[in-house]
Amino acid sequence: MTVGYLRPTRVLVNQQAIYENVQNELAQLKNQETEIFAVVKANGYGHGMVPVAQAAEAAGATGFCVAILDEALDLRRADFTEPILTLGITQPSYASLMAANQISVTVGSLTWLEEAYDILKSEKNSRPIHVHLGIDSGMGRIGFRDASELLAAYQFMQTHNDYFDFEGVFTHFATADDPDDTYFKEQSARFKTLLAVLPEQPRYVHVSNSATSLWHAACNGNMIRLGVSMYGLNPSGKAIEQVPYPLKPAMRVESELCFVKEVKSGSKIGYGATYTADSPEWIGTVPIGYADGWLRRMQGSQVLVDGQFCEVVGRVCMDQLMIRLPHEYPVDTKVVLVGNSGNESISLQDVADYAGTIHYEIACDLAERLPRVYQPITGDINI
């Protein structure tokens, strides 16, 4: 996709914030041997995968998690040598490619191992593939649910240990960000029951995403998959406000007024003529729209101009939106969609609340057409 460098709309990403969030997580770990794998899937949750990975690495992350094999290979091309785990299911037909690039793979069935073995054997691959056995303890997404199949997978890897390196075992919690921990405890018990089936434990035993590491640290295992909290966002939204260390948001979204006009009372604004000025009003146009990931349903939401909240009037267009200004402002005046302006601020959580979704989705929906501008790491922090 073409990146819009020649318009004033951009996403500013503070690498220092990411650095500090990782450092703070490391500082509160009870087991100093526990490692942090930075979750940089989905283009670093919209922040930019490679620059996020660089900041996390500098802060002490020792590995990375991605969703798909293509993301893992992009990290390798960017010269990251640390372990990289693909969290989703990758087709076994790519087993040799993963082995050659030392990409760790999530496996959730014996069938996957058998198919991968046939491929690795036929291609006479010289390197084993690193395997993390996924356990479905109640998320209902991927992973082993049956103890006998889990044991059979382990035994298969042991029998064919020239082709498979049993590197990890893990699960994922569905409600770690819920104040009610009843189901969390059920999942934890199921994971422990299935884990006990294995005759040995691998290098990595991991259950902690951001929410688990923040509110159930006793379950951490020896590796944390640090995701949304690394970006300074509370995994629970507003459900659990207390966190063990401050989360510093890394993302700011800003643009400028590209057109300003005064309209008469009764003037219509936008597609469908859904907004009518009830008096003479100053209307500003901002060059961002739903093609950039600023959702159409954001009509009626607020942006900041000169420290003042301004309503989005009329429907959000594909490439532009209109706002009602308190008075005339010159073209090129800054407009803040996420971040601070004067004494006021708009967070990703605020945007998500208005849109009826979660901040993960808002950040991930920001299109590649929006250039990412990086504010570099400035140094260590006093923890």
Q: What does the CA dihedral 53, 54, 56, 62 come to, rounded to 10 degrees?
A: 80
Evaluate whether 300 touches 312 at the Cβ level (below 8 Å).
yes
| Residues in binding site for substrate | 141, 318
Per the annotation, the verdict on 41 as an active-site residue is: yes
Residue from 121, 185, 261, 271 carrying the catalytic annotation: 271
Per the annotation, the verdict on 271 as an active-site residue is: yes
| Residues in binding site | 141, 318
Residue closest to 184 by CA, chosen among 229, 149, 217: 217
Question: What are the backbone dihedrals phi and psi of residue 52, each rounded to the nearest 5 degrees, phi first?
Answer: -65, -45
If you compute the radius of gyration of the chain from its CA atoms, what whole number of angstroms results? 24
Question: What are the backbone dihedrals phi and psi of residue 104, each rounded to the nearest 5 degrees, phi first?
Answer: -80, 140
Residue from 41, 45, 231, 275 carrying the catalytic annotation: 41
The residues, any chain, with a CB within 8 Å of residue 333's CB and separated by 6 or more, are: 256, 257, 284, 305, 306
Evaluate whether 362 touches 276 at the Cβ level (below 8 Å).
no
Burial class (CB in 10 A: 0-12, 13-18, 19+), 32: exposed
Cα gap 156→113, rounded to integer Å: 8
Q: Give me 122's structure tokens.
A: 């036929």
The residues, any chain, with a CB within 8 Å of residue 159's CB and separated by 6 or more, are: none
Q: Give me 66's structure tokens.
A: 């991605």
Tracing tokens 């382990």 back to the chain, one arrives at 154
Q: What does the CA dihedral 216, 217, 219, 223 come to, rounded to 10 degrees?
A: 130
Q: Give me 114's structure tokens.
A: 């058998």
Cα gap 119→116, rounded to integer Å: 5
Helix (H) or strand (E) holding 284: strand 281-286
Positions marked catalytic: 41, 271
